[in-house]
Amino acid sequence: MTLVVRGIRGAITVEQNDAASIHQATRELLLAMVEENQLTTPLIASCFITMTPDLDAAFPAQAIRELDGWELIPLMGALEVQVPGGLPMCIRLLLHVNTAKTQEEIQHIYLRDAVKLRPDLQQKG
């Protein structure tokens, strides 16, 4: 079986700008991405995290670091540019994974109001 590196996108909106809400939403999104794509941490090369400027109470990466098996996975965080009409209070993840799946088999996950970003990729849940 040949593995290739593929990107898996996900986004979720947050109810409030506080550490508990940011961490809970980050974990919810990440765990949904892992479950839907049947991933194990040894397959994950890295995770790129962004959040909108209105979320400044906590680092989403901290919530990921607290999950078992994620301690050594490279994480990179960034603040998104605020643009007119942009979706507020949003966290996005881009997982880089080693997989045998084709691009068409990858499940991108958009939760809560973030489904507005990619209605063509509507998910269960």
Is 110 annotated as ligand-binding?
A: yes
Give the closest residue to 7 by CA, choosing from 104, 94, 111.
Answer: 94
Is 118 annotated as ligand-binding?
A: no
Neighbouring C-beta atoms of residue 60, cutoff 10 Å: 26
Which residues are registered as beta bridge partners of 56?
none
Q: Please list, in sequence order, all residues whose beta carbon lies within 8 angstroms of the beta carbon of residue 83, skipping any fewer than 6 positions away.
A: none
What's the DSSP call for residue 121?
Answer: G
Binding residues for prephenate, as ranges, are 9, 92, 110
Binding residues, as ranges, are 9, 92, 110
